[in-house]
Amino acid sequence: MQTNDLINALRADAAKQAMPLGYSWCIAIFAATIIAAGAFFILIGPRPDFTVAAHTPRFLFKFIVTLALVVVAFALLRVLSRPGSDVRHVAYRLVLMPILLGTAVAAELFAVPSDQLVTVWWGSNVYVCLTFIPLIGLGPLAVFLAALRHGAPTRPRLAGAVAGLLAGGIAATFYAAHCTDDSPLFVATWYSIAITGLVALGAICGRRVARW
């Protein structure tokens, strides 16, 4: 069977599934969010001054970035789960996050005195961030990898990596409610490193779990 014929056959099989693929992804994102929320409230919970911080732009900016990542990664993962789908019309949206962070970091460099830049960059919760974003994201990553098996990704390693990116975005969104380091420099560096760990794990697991 030629590759195109196989892809068309898989696409036809997906349409005949008892549970539509789109519906399974809705269940997956809901389940992953519930699992992440449970892990967040059990492990760390929101910061003590959450209601006060919620009125500050730098605190709210963290959620703009992480939620944008969740939306784009979810759309990309759904496309990757379907054989033969063109990911280019979704993948380019990932540049939105570097643009948002880059703009905020540039503004921070102008606003913060040079002798304080290292302090705000390092913050006070580096190790907490690098620990709990991956921990909160492990459950969602497992959910998304399981959901990928309901589809037929032709690039399982890439699909697994995007599953890790989505799980990291959800975990970072919850963690942002706990984190007292609101500097874009901190977010751009340490949140990114923590999420990258989940991306790498997703790529490794996706190659094994999501292949067919």
Per-residue pLDDT of the chain (212 residues; tens, 9 = 90+): 555 655 555 555 555 454 556 688 999 999 999 999 999 999 999 999 999 999 999 999 999 999 999 999 999 999 888 876 677 778 888 899 999 999 999 999 999 999 999 999 999 999 999 999 999 999 999 999 999 887 778 888 999 999 999 999 999 999 999 999 999 999 999 999 999 999 999 999 998 887 65
Instruction: Specify the amino acid at residue 43.
Output: L
Q: Return the structure tokens found at 116.
A: 């304080």
Q: Where are the alpha helices (DSSP H) in 92-155?
A: 96-111, 117-122, 126-148
Mind giving me the DSSP string for 166-197?
HHHHHHHHHHHTT-----HHHIIIIIHHHHHH
Q: Return the structure tokens found at 129.
A: 């961030």
Query: Helix (H, G, I), strand (E, B), or coil: what is residue 151?
Result: coil
DSSP letter at 19? S
- Contacts for 192 with CB less than 8 Å, ≥ 6 apart: none
Residue 112 vs residues 64, 120, 184: alpha-carbon distances, Å: 21, 9, 11
The pLDDT value given to residue 102: 94
Instruction: Specify the amino acid at residue 86.
Output: D
Contact criterion met (CB below 8 Å) for 146 and 32 = no
Torsion of CA 14, 207, 91, 18, to 10 degrees: 20
The pLDDT value given to residue 169: 98
Q: What is the reported pTM?
A: 0.88
Alpha-carbon distance 165 to 153, whole Å? 16
